[in-house]
Structure 1
């Protein structure tokens, strides 16, 4: 609702007359002029969001500034007072009567957000985004009262209310399938959600982390426009925060980018988040479904019925995840283990695909190094190598128990390590495929020599030593990787 005695609509009209462009949303208007943008809250009260008074709008804008400075300091500038000028117009921070408040930001190209160019999020950029989000979660304030059953339950309940109110538009059968399936999953996973809250995974998060709120500028992704108006929507489980982005990418048929984001996030988060990171993945299908359900009723209210039904179908599909399985990729350096793991991972298991556990990244974590920092020679001693394999296998078990498909990416030169991987799958009763990758020596040497900015420290000399040593007796099926796409098809075809 809008209050008749509130001066803000007058200020908006005056700002609009002076602006180059006005962007209008349900709860705010953004006035663009030159290189600046002024965001003014509308005097509305939607229950979950209340901007009905000057003080409430000022409070919301100050929080918006504070929260967004953490990830987008070059965009957000200051909260400004809109005051009445001597000529009767509107000025910033003048001596005249207070009319309203505005958030000043730097103007940016609206077409530079990732929702306008989702195809841009590939490879290294997706990797960077996953690690950027993980670092923001590591640095975020822990809130023991947030997250858990209370926060996600709030969203699930409101989703159910909205979806059932829209059943004639969305289809009653599908609505009930999603609502009842969500309730069952939520009841089953509530102890896990509470355990994660107690462990420290409930943190102040972005809360609205979809592609429309990530700017691509200067070759780097910049999350912006986080939720400031309702702590139930921002003091949440960090995995639920990430789930919005993953769901959005999957919905846009960008599963390969979603998988790269997820795996970069997991490796980076393992460097600073509490124990239980991988166990929490059991709740990811529910979280993806809840995010899709939110989008479904928002789209329905906007009259986009086809889009709304597609989101609701996605919500139902996320509640029926594919089963866990274990794929191990072995081979000497240069056989393309990591390249192939990234190619096949999106097609394995529950969305957005398999968790990739790479021995090179695990080794860097154990050494306290960044993912591409060169490791000293002693990090590759026999004891250190076996420690990396042991950690990798332990992480694989936790992810498999959480229902995720897992890909192990390591040289696996020793028979004992190959047998341990297969034994894990047998013990957990999940499908297993062990693959030994091969390629001509000249191809291998060229690949290793060309590497840059990678977690692997292998050199051509290391490769030659591996070839001279050999893997011993092989029971895993062998795949030639000279042609990467063909090798990927062969791996998936034999899965």
Structure 2
């Protein structure tokens, strides 16, 4: 390691000074964090770690300035300022004193560590997962473009994973490591043209870089992204979907595919409002991105003397690159029949990890109007032309995703027989299996559900429901009927069981 600048105080001196003024210290690979009653102070390690050089005062200042800038975008209330620790004339250290600068520290607001999602993965329910996906999409949409990143960054990490896992043989099955490396390298080559195109068309941006549950905080019910990577452009100038993939992989690895696929669906609906129209095509590279993220965690676990977890991540990385074939499911039924709950119940079990993307006409309508998903649209908006446009968009989006290898669940009323036929024809066109479900419940149950809705994308009223009942008179639906009066999630489980 390089020696520290002669202008810098010794690392031990500053740590002792900060430690005497705070309650607790947390050590990370790159920094020491000192927790006070209301504030936290981060100082970079006095070291060249290879992947990050903090060996001089100037390098540490550079890194802290970037950390403040990068994190202000997602967590402005947490990251406050870079402050000086000065050496005074009497030899003592002081914060922002008049003496020579001895060190730089980043001041942050202290938050409740128990509210970090890694400490409570069970807290990521469906509603939070959707907000998280939409929050990340918004963060990505406002991030600076980095066309030199994307493919370059992903290729770097594929090579880095291979090198680090080959060097960390202890406790790992090296044959399985080699299988993982071969699969990721082959898939990278197969997806390179797509990734290069995405980098050139607005999908490569300055991203978070380390977007797992350990770097997401829950405050006032809302997700807050913090601790972005600042020390290396090649680790932060990424394809936005690769940034999202860390969260999806983390949730999937923890057995939370339900939350992961809800986050993915929310992300894509929000991203479709803000990114180029070919946003769906990138899903072809998602298995690779999930695999590479699992590979990162594999070597991190191995270097942390946790070979059991490292082996599990290697197997996860292999599994992501051996995905099931896509399928198209269509869930129809009158308003209040439970289509969205049912769709969310079946999506994690369909197709490649973390499951099928849900396309919901209620959300597509709001997207086409460029209004928030839960904002009510005036009744006059629901013209026959807009009805056709909504279904056209859903079919077009689904076609692009199926061609990218991603399973899809269509969530719509499908009252018109022609629309049911159109969904079946789409599956045949794309060469994937079709699975239909028609949800049923007594009218009085549907009325109670519709009347009691709050904070949902659907604008249906009881009057709309009654109109739907009239339109269904005399129709015979060929899709398997599902009774949604059963207890929560029972209908989805029974439908999935019937597929096997």
The aligned counterpart of 1:490 is 494
Matched, 1:344 2:346: yes
> Which stretch of the first structure deviates more once superposed, 82-91 or 403-412?
82-91
Superposed displacement of residue 111, structure 1: 1.5
Q: Which runs of at least 4 in structure 1 moved beyond 6 Å after TM superposition?
A: none
Q: Once superposed, what is the RMSD of the aligned Cα atoms?
A: 1.2
CA deviation profile, 1:281-332 (whole Å, cap 9, x unmatched):
1111110010010011011011011111111111111111111000000111
Secondary structure, aligned partner of 1:434? strand
Contact 1:14 1:89 in 2 (8 A): no
* Alpha-carbon distance in 2 for matches of 1:326, 1:235: 34
Q: What is the 5 A alignment of 1:173-252?
A: 173-252=175-254
* Alpha-carbon distance in 2 for matches of 1:305, 1:178: 16
The aligned counterpart of 1:416 is 418
* Alpha-carbon distance in 2 for matches of 1:8, 1:100: 9
1:108 to 108, 111, 117: 111
Matched, 1:29 2:40: no
CA deviation profile, 1:32-86 (whole Å, cap 9, x unmatched):
2221111000122122211111111101100100111111111110000110134
The aligned counterpart of 1:3 is 3
1:88 to 80, 91, 98: 91
Superposed displacement of residue 379, structure 1: 2.5
* Alpha-carbon distance in 1 for matches of 2:412, 2:436: 12
The aligned counterpart of 1:135 is 138
The aligned counterpart of 2:267 is 265
> Which stretch of the first structure deviates more once superposed, 280-289 or 104-113?
104-113
- After TM superposition, the score normalised by the length of structure 1 is 0.98
The aligned counterpart of 1:62 is 65
Superposed displacement of residue 2, structure 1: 5.8
CA deviation profile, 1:148-195 (whole Å, cap 9, x unmatched):
2x1100000000001111234211111011000001110101011011
> Which stretch of the first structure deviates more once superposed, 58-67 or 378-387?
378-387
| Alignment gaps of 5+ in structure 2 | none
1:256 to 258, 265, 273: 258
Contact 2:345 2:493 in 1 (8 A): no
| Alignment gaps of 5+ in structure 1 | none
> Which stretch of the first structure deviates more once superposed, 221-230 or 107-116?
107-116
**For this pair of structures, how many residues does the alignment match?**
494
* Alpha-carbon distance in 2 for matches of 1:454, 1:140: 29
Superposed displacement of residue 370, structure 1: 1.2
* Alpha-carbon distance in 2 for matches of 1:214, 1:85: 38
* Alpha-carbon distance in 2 for matches of 1:183, 1:196: 19
Q: What is the 5 A alignment of 1:447-462?
A: 447-462=449-464
> Which stretch of the first structure deviates more once superposed, 270-279 or 183-192?
270-279
Superposed displacement of residue 87, structure 1: 4.4
Matched, 1:287 2:293: no
Superposed displacement of residue 241, structure 1: 0.3
Contact 2:356 2:407 in 1 (8 A): yes
* Alpha-carbon distance in 1 for matches of 2:358, 2:380: 25
